[in-house]
Amino acid sequence: MSAAPMLILASASPRRRELLAQLGVNFTVVTAAVTEHEDPATDPRIMVAHNAALKADWVAARHPEALVLGADTTVFLEGAALNKPADAVEARAMLRRLSGRTHTVFTGLALRRVCDGLRIDEGESSEVTFKSFGDEVIEAYLGRVHTLDKAGGYGIQDQADLIVERYAGSLSNIIGLPLETTKQILTRCGLLP
């Protein structure tokens, strides 16, 4: 019986590491040294697919025998992507825009293996509806949650009761790695039974 192929997660996100670990697969983490495309005017599905592929391709070129999983997530509202906020001022502005509204969370997934030319690209979307809230709730939220590394300036897994009314679709997608889709991809590649 041959050994399972090595899996590398091409992501610096601690949330993606935690989610991937839930699938019970062994993996290592290699962060891709790439500049992600983050133009808010770009179609978010195209942007996250591009960034996921960019990360996976960069790491796969350096580890040609490994299966490399890249992922990228963004929040989309009214034709514009809300990526990671640059600072607390931008995080506040994003939360104000999202208050009382429904937005879409897109994640792009890219799996690569250079040695045999394996290329799989998938995407997932979920909807999140925020409660209506004012600056007091925003300040309370920002006081409890580190938001600068999260698309849209929030994490649904952190203090959601303050800001989230409901969601539809994959919760793990909203966090940053759609587990159902990831499991299907890894099963197709023989990493999971």
What positions carry a catalytic annotation? 72
Taking the alpha carbons at both ends of the chain, their separation in whole angstroms is 14
The answer to whether the beta carbons of residues 57 and 120 sit under 8 Å apart is no
* Count of C-beta atoms within a 10 Å radius of residue 113: 22
- Helical pair 135-144 and 88-98, crossing angle rounded to 10 deg: 130
Sign, CA torsion 36/75/170/16: positive
